[in-house]
Amino acid sequence: MKKIGIIGCGFSGTMVAVHLINKSKDPIELVMIDPSSSIGRGIAYAPYSSKHLLNVITEKMSAFKKSTDHFLDWVMQQKAFQDTDRNILAQSFLPRQLYGSYLDSVWKDATEDAKSKHIKITHLQHKITDIEFVEQGIKLHLAESDSILVSHCVIATGNHQPGNLKISNTAFYESEFYYQNPWNEEAVSNLESTLPVFIIGNGLTMVDTIIGLHEKGFTNEIYSISTNGFNILPHRHTGVLYKKLIEELPKETTLLGILSLFNKHLKKIRKFGLSAEPIIDSIRPFTQKIWQSLSEKEKKVFMSKLRHLWGVARHRIPLHIHDYMQQLRITQKLHIIAGTLIDIEENESFCYVNFYDKKQNIERRIKVGRVINCTGPETNLQKLQHHFLKKALNKGIVTQDVLNIGINADPITFEVINKDAQNLNHLFTLGGNLKGVLWESTAVNELRDQAERLALHILEMK
Ligand SMILES: Cc1cc2nc3c(=O)[nH]c(=O)nc-3n(C[C@H](O)[C@H](O)[C@H](O)COP(=O)(O)OP(=O)(O)OC[C@H]3O[C@@H](n4cnc5c(N)ncnc54)[C@H](O)[C@@H]3O)c2cc1C
């Protein structure tokens, strides 16, 4: 009998389990391992604030690829939304907490199904500290020097907390003024100082953090630094379907080829007062294929020259949240800086942040009461702190892709590739760990498909 260990019970790991249960015809056993008490929510769908919204509209957030209205139908059944217009709900950005409740219900249904099929599910509220191949299967070591043996293992570890940026005074990262995990409510809580808050990073998590700080009563200035200081874009043209670029996309292409195609179409739509988003959205379903066709050199060029631009175009926020951010900038409550962090010094009741301001071409120093890291999940396994994946990397069980932004794996079978370039046919990964292999491997619409395909693959294995 297959005994499948799933390390990480966020959206990815949970949806693999859901499909294993739904599609299994033979008896299987599932061992779900995650330090969190909940199954399904992970980092994204267990936010501390109900004001933290999905960045994708309701009608595109079904957990099931083949049942596109699943989330929308579920929302319509909830008391609070029964009188709301279905079309409005379909196009709106609902709270991520609500999405977490939806995933709770998906998991509850799956566990009922499992009972009727006599599938045993164990939830170990633990952290995996090491993995090891032994004669009988894969040994998963738990934090308390205990271990469990499984026949198949899915690594669904998703979003790691952000890595620390290089500064001279690394001791600062132990300071009480520093918050490395922006998704933890602590990062915005108990702020007694009236000094500004300094946020490293200028993306969606920065926006959530500002909302969190305001919710806790913080009203003073906020500084945010990022390499380019780009403006976060709002979702402006939802519903505009642009197909022209994709119709012209050749089977074989280069980074330069896509860029010139993109620029050609951007010029065209700008004449009608539109911006790049409909083009970006039209490319989205093809990005994995395009990424896989690029050479190593092209991928590196993309990472150094275009990654940030793509990120801004891709990660947009609801219009009303964008208006809120703009208002903060106009009233000088939010300062977005393009630049680089130099150092941070800690004092008794505050800290000094030294940074280079690209726009003003000068080094600046500001006095702040707190520093919050919103640079996004760390993707280089070598930089993870005390994580079994770092050990697995050092042992050669897993390897990194050429860009060191994920785990090297087969994008069809999800099998992890070891240091001898062999597919490990009982060890799998998906989600954010496939970033280097697929580039876009983050959002629900990508993960739900991966989870279903991986579950089918495991069930079909001899
Ligand atoms: C703040 C945020 C908001 C987002 N909003 C959206 C959105 O609105 N729409 C969208 O489509 N996508 C969104 N995303 C993208 C998001 O990454 C995916 O939608 C999805 O939540 C990822 O799920 P996951 O299971 O792969 O990872 P995670 O949710 O990160 O789950 C990974 C799990 O692995 C566990 N884990 C890690 N290490 C170990 C270990 N050693 N042992 C055991 N367990 C371990 C963690 O505890 C965690 O629960 C968001 C991402 C973030 C970070």
Ligand 1, atom 53: nearest CA belongs to which residue? Answer: 44
Residue 153 is predicted with a pLDDT of: 98
Ligand 1 environment, Cβ below 6 A:
7-13, 33-36, 42-44, 54-56, 127-128, 156-159, 183, 205, 388, 431-432, 442-444, 447
Contact (CB, 8 A) for 227 and 202: no
Residue 20 CB partners (closer than 8 Å, separation 6+): 4, 28, 30, 455, 458, 459
Write down all domains in the chain, each with its CATH number in brackets: 2-53+95-160+378-460 (3.50.50.60), 170-233+317-373 (3.50.50.60), 244-314 (no CATH)
- Give the amino acid at 296: E
Is residue 194 over pLDDT 90? no
How much is the average pLDDT of 363-385? 95
Residue 222 is predicted with a pLDDT of: 97
Calculate what percentage of the chain has a pLDDT beyond 70: 100
Q: Which segments within 137-290 are labelled E, that is strand?
A: 137-142, 147-150, 152-155, 178-179, 197-200, 222-226
- Report residue 100's pLDDT band, with 50, 70 and 90 as the boundaries: very high
Classify residue 72 as left (phi > 0), alpha (psi -120 to 50) or beta.
Answer: alpha
- Ligand 1 centre distance from Cα of residue 55 (Å): 14
Residue 413 is predicted with a pLDDT of: 97
- Ligand 1 atom closest to Cα of residue 377: 53
Quick one: how far is CA 310 from the chain centroid? Answer: 15
How much is the average pLDDT of 380-395? 94
Ligand 1, atom 27: nearest CA belongs to which residue? Answer: 158
DSSP annotation of 266 reads: H
How much is the average pLDDT of 166-178? 95
- Ligand 1 centre distance from Cα of residue 379 (Å): 13
Instruction: Calculate ∠ Cα 60-64-67, nearest 5°.
Output: 80
Residue 273 is predicted with a pLDDT of: 85
Is residue 431 over pLDDT 80? yes
- Give the amino acid at 380: N
Is residue 275 over pLDDT 90? no
Is residue 241 over pLDDT 90? no
pTM listed for this prediction: 0.95
How much is the average pLDDT of 125-150? 94
Residue 277 is predicted with a pLDDT of: 87
- Report residue 395's pLDDT band, with 50, 70 and 90 as the boundaries: very high
How much is the average pLDDT of 132-157? 94
Quick one: how far is CA 105 from the chain centroid? Answer: 22
DSSP annotation of 85 reads: -
Ligand 1, atom 33: nearest CA belongs to which residue? Answer: 8
Q: Which of 19, 33, 43 to mutate to test the pocket of ligand 1 (most atoms within 8 A of CB)?
A: 43
- Report residue 386's pLDDT band, with 50, 70 and 90 as the boundaries: confident
Residue 236 is predicted with a pLDDT of: 82
Ligand 1, atom 20: nearest CA belongs to which residue? Answer: 11
Is residue 240 over pLDDT 80? no
How high does pLDDT run on average in the chain?
Answer: 94
The pLDDT tens digits of the residues spanning 57-96 come to: 999 999 999 999 999 999 999 999 999 999 999 999 999 9
Nearest-angstrom CA–CA distance, 260 and 266:
10
How many residues are recorded in the chain?
462
Ligand 1, atom 15: nearest CA belongs to which residue? Answer: 443
Is residue 1 over pLDDT 90? yes
- The structure tokens 């390897």 sit at 399
How much is the average pLDDT of 393-409? 95
- Ligand 1 centre distance from Cα of residue 183 (Å): 11
